[in-house]
């Protein structure tokens, strides 16, 4: 079981992702505002952060960039989950430090698989 914060301003998508990951055995909170999410992540120090790109307040990539600068959080895995595909958007997020990038719409099984893989890879990296 991982503690996950999902930053998503679409209530319907947030509720669906929360249900899918809760059913997979994770504890997940959904926050709809970028600035509030950044402050919550810094305080709660979750096991995984899932970020949308377009958010009120701080944008998803800006949150990611800021997290990578924080001691104690720079290794926190981040999965970008966004409707914005395209090579430039994916490259920007990966260069900012994203561990993975999944484009909406997605299959729930694919989301669970990606979350599990990012968490597994992070455990291995922290053990080095």
Q: How confident is the model at residue 42 (pLDDT cuts 50, 70, 90)?
A: very high
**How many other CB atoms sit within 10 Å of the CB of residue 54?**
13
> Which two structure tokens, joined as six digits, stand for 50?
């899932």
What is the per-residue pLDDT across 11-40, written as a single tens digit (0 to 9) for each? 999 999 999 999 999 999 999 999 999 999
CA-nearest of 44, 64, 43 to 53 is 64
Domain ranges within the chain, ordered by starting residue: 3-127
What is the pLDDT, as a whole number, of residue 125?
54
Q: Does domain 3-127 have CATH number 3.40.50.2300?
A: yes
- The answer to whether 79 touches 48, Cβ cutoff 8 Å, is yes
What is the per-residue pLDDT across 65-107, written as a single tens digit (0 to 9) for each? 999 999 889 899 999 999 988 899 999 999 999 999 999 999 9
pLDDT at 123 over 90: no
Tell whether omega for the bond before 8 is within 30 degrees of 0, i.e. cis. no
């Amino acid at each position: 079981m991982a503690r996950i914060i999902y930053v998503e301003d679409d209530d319907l998508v947030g509720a669906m992702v929360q249900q899918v990951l809760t059913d997979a055995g994770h504890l997940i909170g959904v926050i709809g505002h970028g600035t509030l999410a950044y402050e919550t992540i810094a305080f709660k120090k979750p096991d995984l952060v899932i970020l949308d790109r377009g958010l009120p307040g701080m944008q998803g990539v800006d949150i990611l960039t800021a997290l990578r600068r924080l001691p104690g959080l720079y290794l926190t895995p981040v999965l970008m989950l966004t409707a914005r595909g395209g090579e430039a958007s994916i490259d920007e997020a990966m260069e900012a430090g994203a561990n993975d990038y999944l484009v909406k719409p997605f299959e729930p099984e694919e989301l669970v698989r990606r979350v599990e893989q990012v968490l597994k890879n992070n455990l291995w990296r922290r053990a080095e």
